[in-house]
Amino acid sequence: MARYEPAIDVDALTAIDVHVHIEQGAHGETSLPDDLAAAAAAYFKNGGLQPSLDAVAEYYRERSMAAVVFTVDSTTNLGHPPISSAEIAEGAARHNDVLIPFGSVDPRRGEAAVEQARALIEDHGVRGFKFHPTVQGFDPSDERYYPLFAELERAGVVALFHTGQTGIGAGMKGGRGLRLALSNPMLLDGLAADFGDLQIVMAHPSVPWQDEALSVATHKHNTWIDLSGWSPKYFPESLVRAAGTYLKDRVLFGSDYPMLSPERWLRDIEQTALKPEALPGILVGNAVRLLGLGGTR
C-alpha cells in the first residue's frame, strides 16, 4: 500500500481544481444510487459522465492542472455503499504528479468515523475531507460531530463542505427527502469559531445564502470559498466583487468535474467582472498555500 505524497510541479501548473468528484470506483461501484445519479446528470446536463480515477488523472495531466479528488460517504442517509476513500488515495499516489486525495467519512457513524478519518490521514496520506451535509443528512453545527472535526484539526487537514443548493435529488419527489437547509453556510460559523485552526472550505456559490457565506468568510479567516459547481457567468455580483478584492486570498478555483468542466469555467470567468489580477491566486496560489504544496507561487 503506497501512502500518498505529492510530487506536483506547482510552477508548471495552469490551475489547481480543488473540487473534482470520483463517481466510479475501481470495481465499477458508483458514488450515488442509480436514481440520484440519473437526476444529477439531468440537472447538470453532463450526459451521465462518470470517469474513472485514472481517466481523471489523464484529463488533468493533459491540461497541466492538478485536481483534488474525493467521493462522498453517505452510507447512513442513502443506504448506499460508498466508493473507497482508501482506494482513491492509493490511486492518487499512482498519479501524485496531478492528483491530491481528500477522504470522506460518514459523520453519523460516530467514533467509527473518527477512527476511519485517522486511518485515512495516517496510513493513506489524505490532505483533507469532503462533507455534503444535505446528502449525508447531518447538521455540521451539531456538537455530536465535534470529535471528528477535532481529529481533522489535530491532523492539520482541510474540511471542505458543500454549501447551498444541490443538483442531487433536484426534480425528484420531495427532493428524494434531502434537506437543503443543512447546507446553509451559516451552520459552519460556529464550527469555524470553535475550531480556529481547522481550515474550512465552503464549496460553491452558496445559493441562496451567498451573503451568509461572504459574512462567515469575512469574519472567520480560517474559512475559504471555492467557486465550483456553477458557471461563473451565473455567479452573484457580490461573490465576484469579493473574489476580486477583500477575499481574493481565500477564494479557490473549483469546477465540480465531471458535472462542470474546467474548460467551461475558465471560458465563462472571462464574462464576469472579476479583477484579472486576482485570477493567478484563485487558480493556483491560494490552493498552494491551503494544501501546503510548496513551489514559488
- The highest-level CATH class for domain 10-291 is alpha beta
Mean pLDDT computed over 88-108: 98
CA gap 247, 218 in Å, rounded: 7
Whether 46 has a pLDDT exceeding 70, the answer reads no
Maximum CA extent, the chain: 50
Look up residue 266 and give its amino acid: L
pTM over 0.75: yes
Percent of the chain with pLDDT over 70: 98
Q: What is the pLDDT of residues 246-288, one digit of tens each?
A: 999 999 999 999 999 999 999 999 999 999 999 999 999 999 9
Mean pLDDT computed over 195-207: 98
Q: Please, where are the H alpha helices in 156-230?
A: 189-194, 210-219
- Coil, helix or strand at residue 138: coil
Q: What is the pLDDT of residues 220-241, one digit of tens each?
A: 999 999 999 999 999 999 999 9
Q: What is the pLDDT of residues 167-176, one digit of tens each?
A: 999 999 999 9
Mean pLDDT, the chain, rounded, equals 95
**Alpha-carbon separation of residue 79 from 108, 135, 231, 259 (angstroms):** 12, 11, 31, 23
Under the banding of pLDDT at 50, 70 and 90, the label for residue 39 is confident
**Alpha-carbon separation of residue 2 from 10, 148, 285, 290 (angstroms):** 22, 25, 28, 23
Task: Evaluate the omega torsion of the peptide bond into residue 6 and state whether it is cis, within 30 degrees of 0.
Answer: no
Sign of the torsion angle spanned by Cα atoms 26, 199, 98, 37: positive
Q: What is the pLDDT of residues 28-37, one digit of tens each?
A: 888 888 888 8
Question: Where are the chain's structural domains?
Answer: 10-291
DSSP string, 32-61: S-HHHHHHHHHHHTSTT----HHHHHHHHH
Which residues, in sequence order, are CB contacts of 79 under 8 Å at separation 6+? 33
CA gap 295, 227 in Å, rounded: 23
Mean pLDDT computed over 44-51: 72
Q: How many residues does the chain have?
A: 297
Mean pLDDT computed over 176-203: 98
16 neighbors 288 (Cβ within 8 angstroms): yes
202 neighbors 175 (Cβ within 8 angstroms): no
CA gap 199, 61 in Å, rounded: 27
Whether 47 has a pLDDT exceeding 90, the answer reads no
DSSP string, 281-297: IIIIIHHHHHHT--S--
What pLDDT shows up at residue 195? 98
What pLDDT shows up at residue 24? 84
Mean pLDDT computed over 18-24: 94
CA gap 263, 244 in Å, rounded: 20
CB atoms near residue 28 (< 10 Å): 8
